[in-house]
Structure 1
Amino acid sequence: MPKIPLFPSNSISNAESHLMTPQEVQQQNRRSLGLIGEFQKQAGRPLRVLHIGNIANNAYNNACIQRQFGIEADVLCYNYYHIMGCPEWEDGAIQEGASALGQDHFKPDWWATSLRGWKRPGWFVQGPSGLCIEYLRARNARWRSTSYLKWLELELAAFQDARSADPGNSPAKYIPARLKFMLWLKQAGGQAEPGNGRRLTFYRIWLGSAVANGILGRDDTQYGRSEPTRLDRISAAAWLRMTRRGSQVDIESRAALAAYREDVRRLQAAGVRGLTKHWLERAASPARTLVERSLSLLERILRRLSPVTETGCVARSMSDPVTRAKEIETMLDEIRQDPAELDGQSVSYREEYITNHPRPFEAILSHYDVIQGYAIDGLIPMINGVKNFCCYEHGTLREIPFENNLTGLICRFSFQRAPAVFVTNSDVLPSVERLGLKPERVFYLPHAFDDRKLAEFRAAHPELAPPKSGPVIFFSPTRHHWKRGNTSWQKGNDVVIRAAAEIARERSDFKLVFVEWGQEVADSKELIEELGLTKLVEWIPTMSKRELWQRYCVSHAVVDQFVVPALGGVGFETMALGVRLISAIDRQQTALFFGEEPPCLAANSVGECAARMREVIEDPLDSRGQGRAASQWMTTFHSAERIVALQCKAYSNLLVGQW
């Protein structure tokens, strides 16, 4: 019976001594997932997690499956628009050949693409960092009008960024009415001339309520009121005016508003009647009844108007301001004294980035219970003194922490000091050891993946199957990048091309299908022509996820990558759909990481790839059931339940004594 590593015991040296059966893992999963219900019961609200960063939609996918299990997860994807970092890529009903897919992948134009009614969720915020922060402040305070306007501003920023890739044709393309309205407001609001500062328009005063709300806050969910009041707008305008009068006024205003918030909290705790208790006891009975009714009404009004933000465990985990300032300065000193010989540009930019970049995020971090930083974004909670944070690796630890530049320094420093680290790639286990990460803080975590979506898709499309006659189809959806640049980004596409050429010398009853995307498509085409494979190769345009799944299901095998010896998103989706996968893996590392070696057709060289392709050609209908075995492996070792349970185990360790 297969064994799976026990949750907390993740060190490379002793993992084999902590193995569990699948039944034991299910029990462990249920216990770990119990955190969600227990937290809800004791705190009176869901567990809140903020995911920062979203390369390859890892944060979005994690948040999706966490929300299925009752976690209130938000995603902050700042200053990043790559097509694979957008929810539309993952879940949007994108039409084949849509213009968003055929242009610059860093500037996808979703407004020129039919999504068939699909809309991105309000808990996923993407755009300029400052605007993202303002939106989350408004959303967390439940100011619906303000958050909606901020949402439109974010959409407008993304729209303008996308259209900047093709400015010549922009006027001819579709522009939603809501964005036309925002463009009009932006023009009517009067963009100031360069050097004159920004004019304080009525629109900006009203929208500035988000600023005031972020400081004052308000908890009005119990009373069903979310619209800004006249008092809200006046206070927002006053706040904006005060912040334009200098830093000292800013400090004094913050102190005054903080004192006001404390007064309101006392009022909410004691109630109006609690504050007038002694007077009421001395009043006559008829008068007391009338006064109590009046005070009850007044109390309800004050509670609706009182701006008090609900804070999470992050706020309670942080030290007092003085101690916290010392802790942060100590960290900064350690970063400055790091012995790595940084390049000149990194040294000059280090202080500005480390001290200035994370600070604005402080305004929203305290609303959550756990902060999960992807790649190097663990720096943001760490520099803000947050104790409840995790670092999430998705290829990050392969080379980055050992580079002598600012990115390498930040990566190394944040992962080494993170209270919890999620490792999602089996091939980085040597890096984990090399960095000296403490075993009790490291959690082997499968890639963010929703197996339910794939299972539902497969069940809904039983007709999708590879052809029973004709050429054997090998489908490779992998981005073409195999000659230049960092090896972490390379896919080794030339391996399958050269393997196909080797087989083509023997037979021609097969076909290669490539997706025409990536930096080195031209190089691949040149190699294909050079090796005489042009007639055996078909190129198709970039597709949406569901169109890719259809292609997987009608192929005899899917070919992924040959550089990194670990499974990635293509591999997991292929196996979950019950299709054979040819890819590079390290059998020993994947067995250690997952508990059992995944049943894919492993190939780490041209010769091995050719051998695996021959296996498929000789058994086109998979009589040996290799695809079915892969699907069963995914259900056991890579389910959404297991992924969320592993994260809950880490969260439970972080939240000890805080709820």
Structure 2
Amino acid sequence: MVLHTRVVTGTGGGPDKTILNSPRFLPELGYQSVCAYLHPPRDAGFDAIVQRARDWHAPLVSIPDRGPFDLSIVGKLHDACRQHRVAIWHGHDYKSNLAGLLARRRWPMKLVTTVHGWVRHTWKTPLYYAVDRWCLPRYDKVICVSTDLYQRCMRLGVSENRCVLIENAIDTNMFFRAREANDAKRALALSGRFLIGAVGRLSPEKGFDVLIRAVGELAREGCDVELAIIGDGDERDALMQLIRSLGLADRAALVGFRPDLGGWYEAMDAFALSSRREGLPNVVLEAMAMSVPVVATNIAGLPKLIANEENGLLVEPDDVGALASSLRRLYNNAQLRARLGRTGRETIERRHSFANRMKKVTAVYDSVLGVATP
């Protein structure tokens, strides 16, 4: 039995798609799993994760977590290990990693973690990074979702024989375009303008302020564009103020969290990722799988995924002019949009299949348990 562990607030993010999708693929590969989620008490956003777990038939254990120093969770996680006879602990963040080391003192098991990336946008995050820096070298295997994160883990002292690169992936049977953008816009009661879409947590590292300014440039030039940013977060008020100050209230919308992104991807004429820091974001994989042409920042694992001009466009982070220029090219060139949409989908089918990713993950499980593989 594998116990996935994750600390989350609100509706979660990209890692939760990977975690909650995994139980569907593991049984045929010889493993069962359960997902233990630590979340603030009375967090209404957690209902979205509960619903996704139901939809995807992912066994879920809910553990109220009262903050960074609530060590009572260790006892609750130990109980979950004993109840489910856990053989492998699979952590997904700093607190899960620390809890795994503590729980193993009372319940013998192997420790695996996936490093999805680190962000530094509150006073607490340097502490979280320091905790992970101590934990990671003590884990049996560390899975990194991008080359950049793999290199950082090696610098943190994770030995080469314990560090594994397994990039993010998605289930292409769940993400594919079934209708044209105009039909999807009508279904969502959107205007007929050229729709630039973005998905992510409303936080500084996502660079949505840069994206909003880039759309502002296009609007001032007379481009008939609009922007939809899907997601929630602490930066909502600041981003709304920026939208109003640029006179974009009728062209830019903070849509909020949406559990089903398929229709939104279909409505998009272009997808923009303006992040300052990332690993290998699932939302880019999803947009490419949906044949939406992508403009993304040239950071972390993205240059390995996107070959500039071949299956997407790359720009430097924090460069409003460059982002506006790439979006302008897509706005003016339907042939470029179609080509990048097609080659983007082909890239995901060829290199980022979720089923293939899970085979690599279970090979890691086999290795820590000493199971011989064919």
Q: TM-score range by the shorter chain?
A: 0.7 to 0.9
Task: Please point out which of 342, 345, 358 is paired with 1:631.
Answer: 345
Residues 593-650 of structure 1, C-alpha deviations (whole Å, 9 max, x = no match): x697893322222122111111111124646510111111111211112211221221
1:381 is the counterpart of 2:100: yes
* 2:327 corresponds to: 613
Residues 397-426 of structure 1, C-alpha deviations (whole Å, 9 max, x = no match): 8799x9664x44432222111110011244
Question: Does the C-alpha gap of structure 1 residues 422 and 628 become closer, same or farther in structure 2, counting only changes over 3 Å?
Answer: same
1:410 is the counterpart of 2:131: yes
* 1:526 corresponds to: 241
* 1:543 corresponds to: 258
TM-score by length of 2: 0.79
Note the 1:203-602 alignment, pairs <5 A. Answer: 353=71, 358-365=74-81, 367-376=85-94, 377-383=96-102, 384-385=104-105, 386-396=108-118, 405=127, 407-447=128-168, 449-455=170-176, 458=177, 462-466=178-182, 471-482=193-204, 490-515=205-230, 517-545=232-260, 548-586=261-299, 589-590=301-302, 599-602=311-314
CA contact under 8 A between 2:137 and 2:157: conserved in structure 1?
yes
TM-score by length of 1: 0.47
User: Could you tell me how far apart the structure 2 residues matched to 1:570 and 1:359 are?
Assistant: 35
Letter matched to residue 437 of structure 1: V
Task: Give the SS at the match of 2:114.
Answer: strand
Task: Give the SS at the match of 1:602.
Answer: strand
* 1:648 corresponds to: 362
User: Could you tell me how far apart the structure 2 residues matched to 1:363 and 1:479 are?
Assistant: 32
CA contact under 8 A between 1:473 and 1:556: conserved in structure 2?
yes
Percent identity, aligned pairs only? 20
Q: CA deviation at 1:91?
A: 6.6
Letter matched to residue 445 of structure 1: I
Q: CA deviation at 1:520?
A: 2.5
Task: Please point out which of 38, 63, 66 is paired with 1:78.
Answer: 38
Letter matched to residue 379 of structure 1: L
Question: Does the C-alpha gap of structure 1 residues 639 and 474 become closer, same or farther in structure 2, counting only changes over 3 Å?
Answer: same
CA contact under 8 A between 1:89 and 1:544: conserved in structure 2?
no
User: Could you tell me how far apart the structure 1 residues matched to 2:254 and 2:91 are?
Assistant: 37
User: Could you tell me how far apart the structure 2 residues matched to 1:394 and 1:505 are?
Assistant: 37
Residues 288-307 of structure 1, C-alpha deviations (whole Å, 9 max, x = no match): xxxxxxxxxxxxxxxxxxxx
User: Could you tell me how far apart the structure 2 residues matched to 1:508 and 1:397 are?
Assistant: 34
CA contact under 8 A between 1:498 and 1:606: conserved in structure 2?
yes
Task: Give the SS at the match of 1:625.
Answer: helix
Residues 342-386 of structure 1, C-alpha deviations (whole Å, 9 max, x = no match): xxxx9xx6xx94xx6535533443512322112121233323244
* 1:51 corresponds to: 4
User: Could you tell me how far apart the structure 1 residues matched to 2:118 and 2:275 are?
Assistant: 18
Q: CA deviation at 1:544?
A: 2.2
Structure 1 window deviating more from structure 2 (506-515 vs 552-561): it is 506-515
Task: Give the SS at the match of 1:614.
Answer: helix
More strand by proportion, 1 or 2? 2
Aligned-pair Cα RMSD in Å: 3.6
User: Could you tell me how far apart the structure 2 residues matched to 1:416 and 1:495 are?
Assistant: 36
Letter matched to residue 582 of structure 1: V
Q: CA deviation at 1:452?
A: 2.5
Residues 456-501 of structure 1, C-alpha deviations (whole Å, 9 max, x = no match): xx3xxx334347995321122333333xxxxxxx311111111122
User: Could you tell me how far apart the structure 2 residues matched to 1:523 and 1:364 are?
Assistant: 40
Residues 255-274 of structure 1, C-alpha deviations (whole Å, 9 max, x = no match): xxxxxxxxxxxxxxxxxxxx
Based on CA coordinates, which of the two structures has the bigger radius of gyration? 1
Question: Does the C-alpha gap of structure 1 residues 423 and 503 become closer, same or farther in structure 2, counting only changes over 3 Å?
Answer: same
Residues 179-235 of structure 1, C-alpha deviations (whole Å, 9 max, x = no match): xxxxxxxxxxxxxxxxxxxxxxxxxxxxxxxxxxxxxxxxxxxxxxxxxxxxxxxxx
| Equivalent residue pairs, number | 347
Q: CA deviation at 1:64?
A: 3.2
User: Could you tell me how far apart the structure 2 residues matched to 1:374 and 1:444 are?
Assistant: 15
User: Could you tell me how far apart the structure 2 residues matched to 1:613 and 1:54 are?
Assistant: 35
User: Could you tell me how far apart the structure 1 residues matched to 2:126 and 2:234 are?
Assistant: 26
CA contact under 8 A between 2:272 and 2:296: conserved in structure 1?
yes
User: Could you tell me how far apart the structure 2 residues matched to 1:357 and 1:538 are?
Assistant: 38
Residues 304-335 of structure 1, C-alpha deviations (whole Å, 9 max, x = no match): xxxxxxxxxxxxxxxxxxxxxxxxxxxxxxxx
Q: CA deviation at 1:77?
A: 1.2
User: Could you tell me how far apart the structure 1 residues matched to 2:145 and 2:203 are?
Assistant: 22
Structure 1 window deviating more from structure 2 (362-371 vs 602-611): it is 362-371
CA contact under 8 A between 2:39 and 2:46: conserved in structure 1?
no
CA contact under 8 A between 1:492 and 1:561: conserved in structure 2?
yes
User: Could you tell me how far apart the structure 1 residues matched to 2:227 and 2:141 are?
Assistant: 43
CA contact under 8 A between 1:51 and 1:374: conserved in structure 2?
yes
Task: Give the SS at the match of 1:75.
Answer: strand
Q: CA deviation at 1:651?
A: 1.3
- Which ranges of structure 2 fall in alignment gaps of 5 or more residues? 186-190
More helix by proportion, 1 or 2? 1
Q: CA deviation at 1:123?
A: 1.9
* 1:126 corresponds to: 62
Letter matched to residue 297 of structure 2: A
Letter matched to residue 389 of structure 1: L
